[in-house]
């Protein structure tokens, strides 16, 4: 087995890479009084790449950030609030987003065009700008190289725990660190378009020196293999955002496309992105099961992916998993209506490595044995279409009574 070229940093956070500070404070946006504003700041301008929701009702911060990222200019900070999504708020919402960037920039002594903005929370409510302004001032004052954990806690909404990771690699004899944090527990089915193109919010910092074009490429590829492969409830948010900042403070020689260094960086970045993506599913609203859905031997990657997502998003499948019911007919039905191209008479299904369906028919495995598998906290469903050579994988969960309760009562 190949050994990873990266090392996990114990207790790592978004500020583990050199030259980054962060903070998480209470601005008074949440009725609960919990932390609700975070700030990430680089000591020097950083190369930035991003991916955003493809929802037509993109929130004001998404519209603003796309504009900034499209310029290809360095970015120095990201101001983030939870408790209000600033989505479906019209021109006033966009003006408020620009004011958030301007206020943050002024307090940091940088250009407003070098500040990105993210918001998450309730849709359709204008931002309380007095609280926002006071919160930004507190966030700037609280900036620290040890502020990563506080930032990860401040961006949460219905999450039950912060989600963060940091890894290190060696590039041209220098230690390079990549770190990330994310939030998201419901309204998760990102489908983000990359570069430039509640929600899932994710942030990655690195002290690597790397070509911007390569960073764009690796983020686009990594997004497709991580956040675009998860679904909690099949609902895409108005605010989905993934931002990566690379400030070059590790002192390594600039990583260029096609090099061994690029491959090492890619592996570490993908691990960070996939770890964060899986953490969202594991902390999904009311989740009791983590389910990996694999589709093998499809005519195209698109066929494999749409098939896997149809199974992963099926409410009948998800509720059966919650009940520990091996009801494989629901899996096959979802595959059948997914739009994927395959011959149903060739398809075979497995729960873990146990045969469930063979060539489109019951494989004869006792239901009790199958039930024992789907009653586990984590299991894998594999559908072999035998219609091509392409595969895909999606990470999902069950739907429980608690999910309904959370979303019936939800009001930030």
Residues with catalytic function: 199
Q: Which helix (H) or strand (E) holds 279?
A: helix 260-282
| Tokens read off for 247 | 């400030």
**Strand partners of residue 42:** 20
User: What is the C-alpha separation between 357 and 347, in angstroms, rounded?
Assistant: 8
Q: Which two tokens stand for residue 82?
A: 């939870």
Integer Cα distance of 370 and 35 in angstroms: 44
What would the two tokens of residue 100 be?
């958030």
Nearest to 394 by CA among 191, 183, 243, 178: 191
| Among candidate residues 20, 33, 35, the one with its CA nearest the CA of residue 138 | 35
Token couple for 335: 């595959």
Cβ-based neighbours of 390, under 8 Å, separated by 6 or more: 297, 298, 299, 300, 301, 303, 304
Q: Give the distance from CA 182 to its chain's centroid.
A: 6
CB atoms within 10 A of CB 62: 26
Exposed, middle or buried, 91 (CB in 10 Å: 0-12/13-18/19+)? exposed
65 with 13: CB under 8 angstroms?
A: no
To 5 degrees, how large is the angle CA 220–CA 112–CA 200?
A: 35
């Amino acid at each position: 087995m190949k050994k990873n070229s990266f090392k996990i940093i114990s207790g790592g956070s978004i500020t583990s890479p050199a030259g980054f500070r962060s903070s998480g404070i209470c601005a008074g946006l949440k009725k609960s009084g919990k932390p609700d504003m975070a700030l990430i700041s680089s000591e020097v301008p950083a190369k930035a790449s991003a991916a955003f929701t493809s929802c037509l009702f993109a929130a004001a911060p998404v519209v603003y950030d796309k504009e900034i990222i499209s310029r290809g200019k360095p970015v120095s900070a990201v101001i983030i609030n939870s408790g209000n999504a600033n989505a479906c708020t019209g021109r006033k919402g966009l003006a408020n987003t620009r004011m958030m960037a301007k206020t943050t920039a002024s307090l940091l002594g940088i250009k407003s065009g070098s500040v990105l903005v993210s918001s998450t929370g309730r849709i359709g409510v204008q931002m309380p700008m007095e609280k926002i302004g006071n919160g930004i001032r507190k966030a700037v004052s609280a900036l620290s190289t040890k502020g990563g954990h506080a930032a990860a806690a401040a961006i949460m909404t219905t999450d039950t725990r912060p989600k963060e990771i940091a890894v290190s690699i060696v590039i041209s004899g220098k230690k390079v660190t990549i770190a990330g944090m994310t939030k998201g527990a419901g309204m998760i089915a990102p489908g983000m378009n990359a570069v430039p193109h509640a929600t899932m919010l994710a942030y990655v910092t690195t002290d690597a020196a790397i070509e911007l074009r390569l960073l764009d490429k690796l983020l686009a590829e990594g997004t497709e293999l991580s956040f675009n492969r998860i679904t909690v409830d099949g609902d895409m948010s108005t605010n989905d955002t993934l931002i990566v900042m690379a400030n070059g403070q590790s002192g390594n020689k600039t990583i260029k496309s096609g090099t061994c260094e690029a491959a090492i960086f890619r592996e570490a970045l993908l691990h960070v992105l996939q770890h964060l993506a899986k953490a969202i599913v594991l902390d999904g609203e009311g989740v009791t099961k983590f389910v990996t859905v694999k589709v093998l031997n499809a005519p195209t990657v698109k066929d494999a992916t749409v098939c896997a997502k149809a199974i992963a998003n099926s409410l009948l499948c998800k509720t059966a998993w919650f009940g520990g019911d091996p009801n494989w007919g629901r899996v096959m039905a979802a595959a059948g209506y997914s739009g994927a191209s395959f011959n149903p008479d060739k398809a075979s299904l497995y729960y873990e490595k146990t045969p469930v369906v063979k060539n489109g028919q019951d494989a004869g495995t006792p239901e009790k044995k199958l039930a024992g598998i789907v009653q586990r906290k984590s299991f894998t469903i594999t559908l072999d279409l035998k219609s091509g050579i392409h595969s895909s994988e999606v990470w999902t969960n069950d739907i429980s009574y608690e999910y309904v309760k959370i979303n019936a009562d939800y009001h930030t």
